[in-house]
Copies of this chain bind each other. A is one copy, B any other.
Amino acid sequence: MKKKKSQTISESTLKRLADYLCVLRYLDDQGMETVSSSVLSSMMNITDSQIRKDLSYFGSFGKKGVGYNVKAFIEAIEKIMNLNEKHNVCIVGVGRLGSALLNYKRIKETPFNIVAAFDNDKKKIGKKIGNITVHNIESIDEVCGNIKCEIAVLTVPSYVVHDVYARIVKAPIASLLNFTPIILTGNDDLLVRNMDFVSELKIISYLLKEKDNADKGKG
Contacts and interface: CB of A to CB of B under 8 A. Distances in A.
A32 interface: no
B158 A202 contact: no
The 5 closest A-B pairs by CB, nearest first: A96-B100, A18-B199, A82-B209, A81-B206, A45-B185
Interface string A143-162: 00000001100000010000
Contacts of A110: 198, 201
B198 A15 contact: no
Interface string A185-219: 11000010111111111111111111101000000
Interface residues of A, number: 65
A39 interface: no
Contact of A203 (B15, B150, B194, B203): B15
A87 interface: yes
Interface in A1-54: 6, 9, 14-15, 17-19, 21-23, 26, 43-45
B99 A183 contact: no
25 contacts: A15-B199, A18-B202, A21-B202, A22-B199, A44-B185, A80-B206, A81-B202, A81-B206, A81-B209, A82-B206, A82-B209, A89-B201, A95-B100, A96-B99, A99-B100, A101-B197, A110-B198, A111-B205, A150-B208, A175-B208, A191-B204, A193-B200, A193-B204, A195-B197, A195-B200
A177 interface: yes
A191 B211 contact: yes
**Which of A81, A177, A185, A204 has the most CB atoms of chain B within a 10 A radius of its CB?**
A204
A198 B19 contact: no
A40 B209 CA distance: 27
A14 B23 CA distance: 26
Given A97-B100, A208-B191, A203 B45 contact: no
Given A99-B96, A197-B101, A213-B6, A203 B158 contact: no
